[in-house]
Structure formats: C-alpha cells, structure tokens
C-alpha cells in the first residue's frame, strides 16, 4: 500500500522545468521526514545509480558462494573441512561492513563520502574477478566423467587426473575473498546513501525506497543463481549436462557487476562537504556512539545471543 501511494504521489507531481528528470519531489502529505530536502525519486537519472548498485551487489554476492560446491567440492575434490573454511573466508568481508561504513562517514575522499568508496570498492572487486578470469584453470582431480559415473561409490573412481588439485583451491578462495571485500565496501557506501534517501521520506511512505532497492537486489541475485545452476552444471562439476561454463567464464559473468557498478556510481547524489561541516563525524564521535548503542539492553543482548549461538 505504501508503495502504491508513493507511485501515485510521484505521478501526480508537476515536473520542475529547471530540474532534469525531477530528482526529488517536495510536496507530500503526512508527518515530517527525518531529513529535509524532499523525497528522492530513485528512478531519476541522477539517482538511478543507487538502484543499479544494489542490483550489482545482488549479482556478485549470489555468484561467488554458488561456485564452492561445484568447483571446489566436485571439480577440485577438496575435503569437507576445506570447503567449509572456503565458505567462511569468502563471507568473512561481510564482518568489515561496519568498518567500511565508518570510513565512508568519517573519512571523505576529495570532499565526498560515498562515490569514492563505491568506485574503490567496485574497482577492487573487478581486479580480483579479472584475476580469476585470466588465471589458468587447474585440471580436475578426477578424469572427466568419473565423478558423475561413480557418484555413489567413491572407491570405483580410480582414475585420478590431478592429485594436487585440492591444493590449488586456496588461491581461488583468496581471490574470491578479495572480490567480496570489494563489493562489501561498495555495498556499505550504498547503504549509507539508502539511509539518506529513506530519511527524506515522510512517515506515511517511509520504507518505500528501501523496499524497492532490496527487491531489486534479491531479484538480481535470484537471476544470477539460476544462471549458475543451469550453466555451471557439467559432468566435471558434479552435474549431468554435456555442456557447461568453465570457472573462468563464470567469473567473467560475475565481473559484469563491478563494471556496471563503477559506471553507475556517478549517478548518485554525493555533494561535496567541507572538513569543518557539522555533518561530518570524527572517528572518536562515531566509536563513542557505537559504544553507547552497544550498552543498550536491546543491543548487547542480541550481540550476546549471536555470539553464543
């Protein structure tokens, strides 16, 4: 309902002839927003980068973990504890999102807080994915076809093509971990922009922007996961298809995300700020706020539960 009201309100507004594509609208009924300045139209040209960045994030974060089972477990024949460690390492950069967010808030680059971190993050992601594309793919552990033929009886899989294949998995894990760190940095900066957009919304439509971009992110991730499920399903990867993408080609598909992310990061409002601006927090103030929040019962009990669970 809130989404429908927002669309109707946007459609009923007269476009300002002095503003290209009407980046935001000023007139809304309802309670005052948290942040003044008018509600942002995320479909406008100068705001559309936020939506595309979330689409790119969903694309990248769906593809990288999806390669662990077919490539590392089946193709490289890595042990269970090794693939479990790979999952932990590839997802480890998510822990750094708070740190990236603090950097974005407290350490502007060339007077801007969001676009530089978006571009840096996507550039890091692109570098590691390009490395995955051009590093020659190691040979499979088993002879082509044996994994699928003798799936239920490992003792019959006697033809070992590359006994050192499991040792090569660590390098791939590190490259995918670096790519994850890159898009996590970009995602953190994008989250900050999303909060700024959401705070401009009055109470009667608050959450519309977050709903739209989150939906776009998960739809993008679903499409990416479906592509990997269908196209990364050859016999050597534990599937049944006679054709398949190679791991290098899958990484090339994943690299679409940082390329589009870099190109669209310029279409996000990020006005320059002065070092003496009251809106710029210091690291000390930020960590003080985090500590005060952590001392609240609703926060520390949840932290304790997640730590002990």
In the chain, the percentage of residues whose pLDDT exceeds 90 is 46
Torsion of CA 209, 40, 61, 101, to 10 degrees: -110
Predicted local confidence at residue 156, as pLDDT: 52
Does residue 2 surpass a pLDDT of 80? Answer: no
How high does pLDDT run on average in the chain?
83
Confidence bin at 239 (pLDDT 50/70/90): confident
Element (H, E) at 25: strand 24-25
| pTM: predicted TM-score of the whole model, two decimal places | 0.81
Predicted local confidence at residue 161, as pLDDT: 77
Tokens of 30: 């309802």
Distances (CA, A) of 109 to 24, 46, 116, 141, 307: 26, 20, 6, 47, 34
Q: Are 157 and 145 in contact (CB under 8 A)?
A: no
Of the segments 147-151, 238-242, 257-261, which one has the largest average pLDDT value? Answer: 257-261
Which residues make beta-bridge pairs with 109?
A: 112
Q: How do residues 39-80 score in pLDDT, each as one tens digit?
A: 888 898 989 999 999 999 999 999 999 999 999 998 898 988
Burial letters for 262-273: b for 16+ Cβ neighbours within 10 Å, e otherwise?
Answer: bebbebbbbeee
Is the CA virtual torsion 42, 46, 48, 50 positive or negative? Answer: negative
Residue position matching structure tokens 């739209």: 212
Q: Collapsing DSSP states into helix, strand and coil, what is residue 44?
A: coil
């Amino acid at each position: 309902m809130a989404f429908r009201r927002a669309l109707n309100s946007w459609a009923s507004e007269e476009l300002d002839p002095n503003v290209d594509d009407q980046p935001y609208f000023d007139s809304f009924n309802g309670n005052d927003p948290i942040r003044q300045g008018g509600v942002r139209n995320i479909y406008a040209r100068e705001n559309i980068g936020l939506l595309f960045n979330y689409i790119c994030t969903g694309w990248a974060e769906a593809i990288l973990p999806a390669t662990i089972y077919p490539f590392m477990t089946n193709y490289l024949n890595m042990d269970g504890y090794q693939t479990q460690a790979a999952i932990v390492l590839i997802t480890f950069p998510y822990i750094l999102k708070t740190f990236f967010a603090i950097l974005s808030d407290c350490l502007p680059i060339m007077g801007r807080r969001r676009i530089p971190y978006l571009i840096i993050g996507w550039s890091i992601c692109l570098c590691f994915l390009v490395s995955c594309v051009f590093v020659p793919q190691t040979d499979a552990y088993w002879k082509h076809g044996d994994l699928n033929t003798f799936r239920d009886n490992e003792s019959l899989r006697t033809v070992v093509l590359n006994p050192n294949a499991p040792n090569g998995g660590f390098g791939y894990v590190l490259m995918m971990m670096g790519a994850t760190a890159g898009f996590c940095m970009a995602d953190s900066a994008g989250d900050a922009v999303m909060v700024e957009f959401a705070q401009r919304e009055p109470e009667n439509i608050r959450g519309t922007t977050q709903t739209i971009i989150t939906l776009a992110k998960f739809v993008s991730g679903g499409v990416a996961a479906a592509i990997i499920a269908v196209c990364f399903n050859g016999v050597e990867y534990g599937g049944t298809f006679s054709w398949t993408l190679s791991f290098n080609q899958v990484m090339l598909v994943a690299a679409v995300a940082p390329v589009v992310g870099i190109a669209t990061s310029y279409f996000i409002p990020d006005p320059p700020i002065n070092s003496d601006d009251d809106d710029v927090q210091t690291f000390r103030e930020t960590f003080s706020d985090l500590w005060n929040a952590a001392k609240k019962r609703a926060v520390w009990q949840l932290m304790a539960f997640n730590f002990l669970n």
